[in-house]
Structure 1
Amino acid sequence: MINENTLHEYDSETKNAALISAMIAAFSMSFMGSSLNVALPSIGKEFGVSALFLGWIATSYLLSSAIFQVPFGRLADIYGRRRYFTLGMIIFTLSSLATVFVTNVVLFITLRVVQGIGGSMVFGTGVAILTSVFNARERGKVLGLNVAAVYTGLSAGPFLGGILTQNFGWRYIFLLNTSMCAAAVFFAAFKMKGEWAESGGESFDLIGSLIFAPGMFFLIFGLSSLPSTTGAAALILGILLLILFVIVEFRIKHPVMNMKLFFHNAVFAFSNLAALIHYASSFAVSFLLSLYLQYVKGFSPQAAGLVLMIQPVIMMAFAPAAGKLSDRFNPGKIASSGMAMTAAGLLMLVFINAQTPVYYTAAALIFIGFGFAFFSSPNTNAVMSSVERKDYSIASAALGTMRVTGQMTGLAIGMMALSIFIGTAKIEPSNMGEFIKAVQAAFMLSAALCITGIFASLQRNKR
């Protein structure tokens, strides 16, 4: 670890530009994901696709962002974090604009892949830039504000997405998001000063990247294709390639991913594991509840959005406070308490059915909202404070990869449950009972996973 007090203190203009651009990017990307959840039934109706296929609209984005986060994070450490942040926002902005004009679902999914590539550049650099600019005394608070921006986007997404989808059509979600992304490009390109390339001069590990990319592809494709034989085979292949990746990385002078961080840095390793498990256990909540509220309870997209925004509103309101607490107290213990609250909310959702009152679902979302608020920013603070400056982007990218892999695992849990109980059929009154069973099974598995994650999260406090 390095002495933070000896680092350069940046002026307020640089700090503000970094914080504003990072927060706009965080808001716009989270807004996109949460607003699309509400729009899925309308998209499915326009393109005539099943609920299982709708999952690929989210899967394709997560897939590409997971594949490229680590390589782009390493490139940013070598050649400049601002450069890759700006490029990623430009790619994300242009692909969002192009999605407004799609005429078929194949092109839709292709553009979501491109969005994921742009997003992977931003995920690996935004938090790294904030950590580079703000010192250790301010870090938790700033990371809490950035997380609050994420959750503000998640809050606004269901509500505004529902209004836009119901009154103007789902394409206006992408149109609105394009304008927000353009603002982030402006601040990053013209107001942010500095590049932050502490690994400048080191070589880029192309071999490791070429092993990592297909490994992540087959891992996530396999997860999303379970329980089919093809999915199982792809999952095994992905795991084998990632094992090979770990072996190769230990033998390279300047690896794309410094594996010593996982094997010799307990805080870094267990904080990343906690992130993986937490997102895996909770990511399917919005996807499944959006379908449940609209198909089972008969809610409009706008009404469903109002219910779903309860969780991110709680997250938005309390994440900054949790971040400040992590500057004063052990961030690992705070994050572990957050996982416990998430587990409580997931256990409540195991028991929902066609007769469940909406206030019960809302109460479960409140618990999950508090869980996320007290997990995300303290956990990020723990990760970023455990590494040296030259590894900030790769540490952020590693955490982002764990988040996306966890999200993909969570979505796979939901899609697998749907596949087992209703197959590829559309959700209709005739199979509504099977759909409810699928939702209950998915939440049961998610709750069990989250409870397991609490014990993994607590391990970092014992090292």
Structure 2
Amino acid sequence: MSEAESKKSVLFIATVAAFLPAFANSAINVALPPIGTEFGMDAVLLGWVVTAHLLAMAVFMVPLGRAADIWGRKRFFTLGMAVFALSSLFCAFPSSGSALILFRFFQGMGSSMIFGTSVALLTSVFPPGERGRALGINVTAVYLGLSLGPFLGGILTEYLGWRSIFLLNVPLGILVVLLTVRRLKGEWIEAAGERFDGLGSVIYALALVSTIYGLTSLPSASGAAFLALGLAGIAAFALVELKSDSPVLNVRIFRENRVFALSNLAALISYGATFAVAFVLTLYLQTVKGLSPLYAGLVLVAQPAVQTVLSPWAGRLSDRMEAQVVASGGMALTAVGLLLLALGLDAETGVGFIIAVLALLGTGFAFFSSPNTNAIMSSVEKRDYGVASGMVGTMRSLGMMTSMAIAMTALSVFMGRVQVTPEVYPQFMEAVTAVLSVFVVLCVVGIFASLARGRVRKEE
């Protein structure tokens, strides 16, 4: 196989692999009510159907990315897709709600292996001058999955039942496994023979679980305690890794590599400031505005649809311009969009205004995400591609969890643990405004983090 054919094969396989978990996570939200009815699950347990997947991704992304650097990226990518397909089959036929949550956790583990290696594979085969375009296409696949998820998920749930969402992943996952085995020759191993840091991996996993559980349990005292314990665990993890000869995460990169550290911080802030926007707007559109789930889903498609269209172009632009400029501009557009929502959203706000602002948010995130990922992957040596790829996914997962924690905390503080009914609409709108205001502040901080990273492109 020629080099050009190898690049095309890797790009196609990584693109399909990026689409599947994104589609599954987006589509499952539409299916939560019938799942809850069938298994008698309350809102908290239904939340864990989503959270279990994100938690597994955050916990396993970096350790398995490091393992892939040592034992082979293609091997772990293939294993991850197989785990994802098999767990999807189990998710379609759980015996209880608790079993579904468990299988979703294993599905998240498979997703972590996919996301933790696919970007590394692309970075391994595409040189710097072509890398932004390839990463842009990969990000586009994620956004396409997010865009089609609510619409196709609604159709599948309505006519074939919620199990069909999971069953769709099975043949597509098997197809990717077969294509990987047959089309990708050779292996990518940049850290062969190095020791895998088991102790560091365990501390990392426990620290993240405690941190994420604490965030999602705020503002309770137990949530604060778990959050404090998790943050202490992260500090302990950093100390252990600094002394390790073969760390699961080379934390020195954060101290020695300004671009890597600040680009990851910007990614964490970006996802933290945007992920829960769709969550609060879904509640707003279906309660305050009285829209049907299908109509609300069509409104919310505006953001990921624009991201899908613009991400490849933004990726190509980052091959020609500094990511410092392109990504910071994208973050600034996102901040403007969030500010418009925070100031303009009330019971009388027109749907056209919301769609326009969501399109602006999609534009901003498209111009941030691909260039920022390009900056992260281009700032490390080849031997660290797997860990860097895993860190991209980890920042995404942690940012999403942080975003949801902010939203749920605000709703709890302003409304209490009640349903969104007409009696509490004023308090609900206060909570939404507070959430969006916090997101604006986060984005402003993110702009400075993005600008402070410095130059990525080498002078020619």
TM-score by length of 2: 0.94
Letter in 2 for 1:427: V
Q: Which residue, out of 420, 439, 442, partners 1:446?
A: 439
Question: Which amino acid in 2 is paired with 1:189?
Answer: V
Residue pair 1:50, 1:425 contacting (<8 A) in 2 also: no
Q: Which amino acid aligns with 2:351?
A: V
- Partner residue of 1:457? 450
Partner amino acid, structure 2, of 1:364: V
| Stretches of structure 1 lacking an aligned partner (at least 5 in a row) | 1-8
Match of 1:427 in 2: 420
Counterpart in the other structure of 2:71: 79
Q: Could you tell me how far apart the structure 1 residues matched to 2:432 and 2:36 are?
A: 19
Distance in 2 of aligned mates of 1:49 and 1:218? 24
Question: 1:170: how far off?
Answer: 2.6
Structure 1 residue 47: deviation in Å? 4.3
Q: What is the deviation of 1:49? A: 4.4
Residue 222 of structure 2 is aligned to residue 227 of structure 1: no
Cα offset for 1:50? 4.7
Cα 1:10/1:406, change in 2 over 3 Å: farther
Equivalent residue number for residue 54 of structure 1:
46
Query: Match for 2:146 among 131, 154, 158?
Result: 154
* CA distance in structure 1 between the aligned counterparts of 2:177 and 2:289, rounded to whole angstroms: 41
Match of 2:377 in 1: 384
RMSD over aligned CA atoms reads 1.9
2:167 counterpart residue number: 175
Superposed, 1:206-221 pairs within 5 Å as 206-221=198-213
Question: Secondary structure at the residue paired with 1:143?
Answer: helix
- 1:107-164 deviation per Cα after TM superposition (whole angstroms, max 9, x unaligned): 2211111111111111110000000011111101100111111111111112212222
Residue-by-residue CA offset, 1:3-61 (whole Å, 9 max, x unaligned): xxxxxx96223212211111011111111122223333444444454545433222111
Residue equivalent to 1:410: 403
- For 1:185, the aligned partner's letter is V
The alpha carbon displacement at 1:101 in A equals 1.8
| Maintained 8 Å contact 1:37/1:287 | no
What is aligned with 1:357? 350
Look up the equivalent residue of 1:197 and give its one-letter code. I
CA spacing shift, 1:22–1:285, aligned 2, 3 Å:
same
Check the 8 A contact 2:322/2:455 in 1, yes or no.
no
Counterparts of residues 27-42 of structure 1 (less than 5 Å): 27-42=19-34
CA separation of 1:447 and 1:211: change in aligned 2, threshold 3 A: same
- For residues 192 and 254 of structure 1, the distance between their equivalents in structure 2, rounded to whole angstroms, comes to 28
Match of 2:364 among 368, 371, 374: 371
The match for 2:232 among 225, 228, 240 is: 240
CA distance in 2, matches of 1:356, 1:286: 16
Instruction: Answer yes or no: is 1:260 the counterpart of 2:247.
Output: no
Structure 1: distance between partners of 2:424 and 2:84: 38
Who is 2:389 aligned against? 396
- Give the CA deviation at 1:425: 3.1
Structure 1: distance between partners of 2:400 and 2:157: 24
Measure how far apart 1:301 and its partner are. Answer: 2.5
Q: Indicate the larger mover: 12-21 or 66-75.
A: 12-21
Is the CA contact 2:214–2:224 (under 8 Å) kept in the aligned structure 1?
yes
Over the matched positions of the two proteins, sequence identity in percent amounts to 52
CA distance in 2, matches of 1:42, 1:353: 30
Deviation readout 1:223-253 (Å, 9 max, x if unpaired): 1111111110000001101101111111111
Deviation at 1:300, TM superposition (A): 2.5
How much has 1:195 moved relative to structure 2? 1.7
Could you say which residue in structure 1 is the equivalent of 2:62?
Answer: 70
Show structure 1 runs of 4+ deviating over 6 A.
none
1:110–1:432 distance in 2 versus 1, CA, 3 Å: farther
Matches within 5 A, 1:93-172: 93-172=85-164
User: 2-side partners of 1:41 and 1:428: how far apart?
Assistant: 17
1:368 counterpart letter in structure 2: L
For 1:415, the aligned partner's letter is: M
Contact 2:132 2:319 in 1 (8 A): yes
Unaligned ranges ≥5, structure 2: none
CA contact (8 A) 1:267 1:460 kept: yes
| Counterpart residue number, 2:331 | 339
Verify the 8 A CA contact 1:37 1:290 in the aligned structure 2.
no
Say if 2:309 is the partner of 1:317: yes
User: Structure 1 residues 129, 44: closer, same or farther in 2, change over 3 A?
Assistant: same
Amino acid at match of 1:110: L
CA distance in 2, matches of 1:165, 1:444: 35
Say if 1:39 and 1:443 are closer, same or farther in 2 by CA, change over 3 A.
farther
Number of the residue aligned with 1:191: 183
Q: 1:435 to 1:40 in 2, by over 3 A?
A: farther
Q: Tell which deviates more after alignment, 170-179 or 411-420.
A: 170-179
* Paired residue total: 455
Give, in whole Å, the separation in 2 of the partners of 1:49 and 1:286. Answer: 23
Hey, what's the Cα distance between the residues in 1 that align with 2:423 and 2:267? 38
The verdict on how the C-alpha distance between 1:179 and 1:349 changes in structure 2, with shifts beyond 3 A counting, is: farther
**What is the Cα deviation at residue 303 of structure 1?**
1.7
Which of 13, 38, 41 aligns to 2:5? It is: 13
Gap change, CA 1:279 and 1:160, over 3 Å in 2: same
Supply the AA of the counterpart residue of 1:124: G
Secondary structure of 2:347's match? coil
Kept in 2: contact 1:347–1:443 (CA 8 A): yes
Q: 1:26 to 1:258 in 2, by over 3 A?
A: same
Matched with 1:4 is none
Partner of 2:243: 251
Distance 1:140 1:191 in 2: 23
